[in-house]
Amino acid sequence: MRQGNSGMFRLIASLLLALGLQTAALSQELADGEVRRVDRDAKKITLRHGPIASIDMPPMTMVFQVKDPAMLGGLKQGDKVKFSAEKIDGAYVVTRIEPGMQ
């Protein structure tokens, strides 16, 4: 490889790495929500939520599946939460949930 091309290669590699890190950070960004209903038998939770940037979703109330049913333990109607969601096999799935500010 010529010396002039190696600088360009490094620049392109750095830009691709930065883009990948930014995309990963966006997918891990937590949205604010309020628990409206918990259905442990169906492994679902209804959340009234703010915007979810990672899946380009505006604020609304909707039912989500949960990646792990253990996530539902201890949650009750009215709890404020922070969560992340992904679209997996056509369904919106909560992949992480933690207590929010009450």
SS3 6: helix
Burial 25-39 (b: 16+ CB within 10 A, else e): eeeeebbbbbbbebe
Q: How many Cβ atoms are within 10 Å of 97's Cβ, its own excluded?
A: 24
11 located within any domain: no
Residues 77 and 95: their CA atoms lie apart, in Å, by: 19
* pLDDT tens for each residue of 30-40: 999 999 999 99
Domain region containing 85: 31-99
pTM: 0.72
- Give how many domains the chain has, as a whole number: 1
pLDDT at 1 over 90: no
CATH number of the domain encompassing residue 37: 2.40.50.320
pLDDT at 22 over 90: no
